[in-house]
Amino acid sequence: MKNFKNILLFGTLSFSLLSCSTTKKISSTESVSPKNIVSETQLSEEMELQFEYLFIEGLKQRMLGNLEGAIALFSKCLEIDPQSAVSMYELSTIHIAKKDITSALGLLEQAHRLRPDNDQYAMLLAQVYEQRKRYDKASVVYEQLVEKHPSNLDYIYRNAALYASSNQFEKAIKMYNRLEKEMGLNERISVAKEQIYLAINKPKKAREEIQRLIDSNPKETKYYGLMADLYLKDGNREKAYEYYNKILEIDPKDGFVHISLANYFREGGDNETALKHIVEAMKSTTLDTSTKIQMFLLITSDKGSFITTDKQKEELLQYMIEANPNESRPHALFAEYLIQQGDYQRAQEQFRFAIDLESDNYIFWERLIMIDNQLLDWASMKNDCDIAIKKFPNKPLVYIFKSLTLLQDNKYQEMLDLLTKAETLPDLDKSSLSQIYTYKAEAQYNLGHFDDAWKSFDKVVELDPTNYMAINNYAYYLSLKGEQLEKAERLSGMVVEKNPDNPTYLDTYAWVLFMKKDYRLAKFYMKMAIDSMEQVNPTLYEHYGDILYFLEDIDGAVSNWKKAKEKGLKSELLEKKINEKRYHVK
């Protein structure tokens, strides 16, 4: 496992090796000059002028962002002169911008064939070949460039890397050696050669390359780490350990070597020593936070974990926080760990620490507000939502959570006003809109705006037929009002079909049937609801008593009304039912 930074694999081509490179970044405008705007073939003066006009207009349209217009203009240039390589090149750059690599490649191949002397055409063609992983073809283009420009070190490097990527390892080594002869010893070249030697099963040659780096700079710790990794690959743990210790001699606080040693001892079955090195890595002030977080997640995952106790995990997180006092992510990681443990109170505290360090991180605010909701900490949730709305005025979830706090305080009009504003936010997805309409409907219902509430609920059903909580409430409210009972039964039945063990949904379905005077079926579903309860809900016993009353089981009705009272339900209406042994409507 490589644990040292700035190591380049031989196939990586995403950057230039040399600061003194003579090759510029390709720009299509560099190919345009008074000399090459004209057509490639002999045309009449009139056609020549027309070609030049269309070509310049094509450049102008591309600069204005009108890619389709530019394509049309350059295509007309090709109609005038089918051999115009520069038109093909300009068209290819537009197709690349549109991610139409197939079209771009065909045009570039033709342009390169017509103008093999144009290095820009060749460079872009090679880059497209690389993107399509056609390394053999790309290397052929670079061979031509190297032959034309033998002193261009960037061409030589790219060619070597492409040889390696296309498994032409001997050619790659020769090209790297040629480059090294021009530059002298270079870390990236040596590491690239090391990787090739490993690929062709020459571990001794790979070690020789790294030894040359060590000899050139004996104080550079990462070279010893590379050598240790090589010995580990060979199964020579003793020599690997020797090189790890050399790193500790040079820099005892090197965090990367402690990670390497942790892996070394873990693979050897010595988890106790491995843990000690993990602790040192987490305490390191030089090891970057991203590596620490990656390592923590790796060693605490269920698969192959050797960090088993909650105490060990918390200690590692605390060490990370202490070593990185100005970093927000360790606090956020600790918070997520605490959420997994069900410790929402401490998770809330850790996210507050994270926000103090990085107040503009929306994800931190979202997670904090979700924890507030989990804790039913409405005061904190309201305050956090107020701050978050000011910081992130286009985030719908913050408005939705704020509306929940207003719902708790029965501030229905304020809730409705807030959600009406949220409804106008840009780029709302269906899920967010569904939640907004859900809580709008709740506010409208509680304000007595029943027709508006039904319309909002209908939008919820349309946007998200799986929003079972909202659809259940819709059906229940319809039944309480005695309106649209057929619709209420259909909606509630749909929810129960998908959630057959949910006592709240079963209770709603039974109550809709009760309002339709289908008492026997209502009894069946209400009994299912009671049997499904994990936590006692006294309202279900009251409803069951109501159903039994209309089935003329007066004793059963009174018994269940009394049970509702015993389980904590208090209301004058319930007392009246019990005392008079008869059903009363609210």
User: 163 and 139 in contact (C-beta within 8 Å)?
Assistant: yes
521 located within any domain: yes
Residue found by looking up tokens 């720009």 in the block: 27
| Least confident segment among 6-10, 167-171, 547-551, 577-581 | 6-10
Distance between CA atoms of residues 364 and 383, nearest Å = 15
User: Do the domain assignments include residue 385?
Assistant: yes
Q: Kindly indicate the confidence band of residue 3, based on its pLDDT and cuts at 50, 70 and 90.
A: very low
| Tokens (6 digits) for 171 | 């050619």
* Tokens matching residue 74: 């350059």
What tokens appear for 423 in the block? 């409804």
Last-in-domain residue among 376, 392, 408: 392
Q: What is the mean pLDDT of residues 242-267?
A: 92
Amino acid present at 2: K
Q: Which residues have C-beta within 8 Å of that of residue 294, sequence separation ≥ 6?
A: none
Task: Give the end-to-end CA distance of the chain in Å, rounded to a whole number.
Answer: 72
State CA 363 to chain mean position distance.
12
Domain C-terminal end among 392, 407, 430: 392
Torsional sign, CA 526, 531, 533, 537: positive
List b or e across 359-397, with b for residues whose CB sees 16 or more CB atoms inside 10 angstroms: eebeebbbbbbbbbbeeebbebbbebbeebbeeeeebbb
Q: Which residues contact 271 (CB under 8 A, 6 or more apart)?
A: 265, 306
The total of structural domains in the chain comes to 2
Alpha-carbon torsion angle 49, 50, 53, 54, nearest 10: -150
Angle at which helices 310-323 and 329-340 pack, to 10 degrees?
Answer: 160
**pLDDT tens track for 383-419:** 999 999 999 999 999 999 999 999 999 999 999 999 9
| Full-model pTM | 0.71
Instruction: Tell me, yes or no, whether 369 and 483 share the same domain.
Output: no
Token pair of 152 as six digits? 């261009």
Q: Are residues 503 and 561 in the same domain?
A: yes
Question: 251 by DSSP, 3-state: which?
Answer: coil
Same domain for 385 and 487: no
Residue 444: HSE in the Cβ half-sphere, 13 Å Cα cutoff? 20
Q: DSSP readout, 4-37? A: -SSPPPTT--SS-S-TT--PPPP-GGGG--HHHH
Question: What are the pLDDT digits (tens) for 428-472?
Answer: 999 999 999 999 999 999 999 999 999 999 999 999 999 999 999
For residues 390 and 398, what is the distance between their CA atoms, to the nearest angstrom? 10
Distance CA 328, CA 293 (A): 12
The answer to whether 358 touches 364, Cβ cutoff 8 Å, is yes
Report how far Cα 253 is from the mean position of its chain's Cα atoms.
33
Cβ atoms of 492 and 505 closer than 8 Å: yes
Rounded-to-integer distance, Cα 124 and Cα 105, Å: 9
- Assess whether 456 and 531 both reside in one domain: yes
Same domain for 365 and 457, yes or no, is no
Q: Are residues 458 and 526 in the same domain?
A: yes
Residue 141 Cα distances to 9, 126, 138, 150, 193, angstroms: 22, 6, 5, 14, 22
Note whether residue 463 is domain-resident: yes
For the domain that residue 388 is a member of, what is the CATH number? 1.25.40.10
pLDDT of residue 304: 57
| 9 pLDDT higher than 70 | no
Question: For residues 57 and 71, what is the distance between their CA atoms, to the nearest angstrom?
Answer: 11
Model confidence band, residue 192 (pLDDT cutoffs 50, 70, 90): very high
Report residue 41's pLDDT band, with 50, 70 and 90 as the boundaries.
low
In this structure, the number of other CB atoms found within 10 A of the CB of residue 256 comes to 22
**What's the DSSP call for residue 517?**
T
Mark whether 356 and 447 lie in a shared domain. Answer: no
366 and 488 in a single domain? The answer is: no
| Tens-place pLDDT, residues 264-323 | 998 888 989 999 999 999 999 989 999 999 999 988 876 656 777 899 999 999 999 999
Q: Is residue 445 part of a domain?
A: yes
pLDDT of 130 higher than 70: yes
The verdict on residue 98 lying in a domain is no
Residue 223 is encoded by which pair of tokens? 């070279």
In sequence order, the 6+-apart residues with CB closer than 8 A to the CB of 579 are: none
Q: Would you tell me how many other CB atoms lie within 10 Å of the CB of residue 551?
A: 13
- Pair 244, 265: CB distance under 8 Å: no
23, pLDDT greater than 60: no
Q: How far is CA 298 from the centre of its chain?
A: 18
Report whether pLDDT(18) > 60: no
Instruction: Assess whether 386 and 452 both reside in one domain.
Output: no
549 shares a domain with 469: yes
Dist. CA 419–CA 436, nearest whole Å: 6
Q: Is residue 453 domain-shared with residue 388, that is, in the same domain?
A: no
Residue 40 has pLDDT above 90, yes or no: no
Contact status, residue 83 vs residue 114, Cβ threshold 8 Å: yes
Please report the pLDDT score of residue 55 as a whole number.
Answer: 94
Q: Is position 487 within any domain? A: yes
Any domain includes 534: yes
Residue 341: give the domain boundaries. 332-392
Q: Given the structure tokens 């064939």, which residue do they identify?
A: 113
Using pLDDT thresholds of 50, 70 and 90, give the confidence band for residue 24: very low
- Give the pLDDT of residue 208: 96
Q: Is 65 left (phi over 0), alpha (psi -120 to 50) or beta?
A: left
Count other C-beta atoms under 10 Å from residue 259's C-beta. 27
- HSE (CB half, 13 Å, CA atoms) of 107? 24
Same domain, 457 and 535: yes
Task: Establish if 555 belongs to a structural domain.
Answer: yes
Number of alpha carbons in the 13 Å side-chain half-sphere of residue 48 = 10
Exposure of 90 by Cβ count < 10 A (0-12 exposed, 13-18 middle, 19+ buried)?
buried
Quickly count: other Cβ atoms within 10 Å of residue 490's Cβ.
12
Mean pLDDT of the chain: 90
Under a CB-based contact definition with an 8 Å cutoff, are residues 538 and 568 in contact?
A: yes
